[in-house]
Amino acid sequence: MFFELREYRTLPGQRENWVRFMEEEIIPFQVSKGMVILGSFVGEEEDDLYVWIRRFESEEERENLYAAVYESDKWVNEIGPKIPGMMDRSKIVVRRLEASSRSVIQ
């Protein structure tokens, strides 16, 4: 099992719109495809920061879920085209993490 911590930077004035889009569109859609979303967060001191965490049982599961989400017609035609207006994709940081033995998140 591993986690994917994704750090995004929103465009000026777009964080509230981005959070709403994530919570109302992206997260429900990804969950409907089988993704496990553990949480999403905004920066307390950085007004453009958005972070979320997903969990995968294996690399094979991650690959299958990525295909189910990012190759779907809904993502390609409806969700994906809205992203560039709210987020700076050039600043995406993705970290793969494994929980330590005493981590509450497992």
**pLDDT tens, N- to C-terminus, the chain (106 residues):** 999 999 999 999 999 999 999 999 999 999 999 999 999 999 999 999 999 999 999 999 999 999 999 999 999 999 999 999 999 999 999 999 999 999 998 7
Kindly provide the b/e burial profile for residues 45-80, where b requires at least 16 CB atoms within 10 angstroms of the residue's own CB: eeebbbebbbbbeeeebbeebeeebeeeeebeeebe
* Ranges of each domain in the chain: 2-97
pTM of the model: 0.92
For the domain covering 2-97, report its CATH number.
3.30.70.100
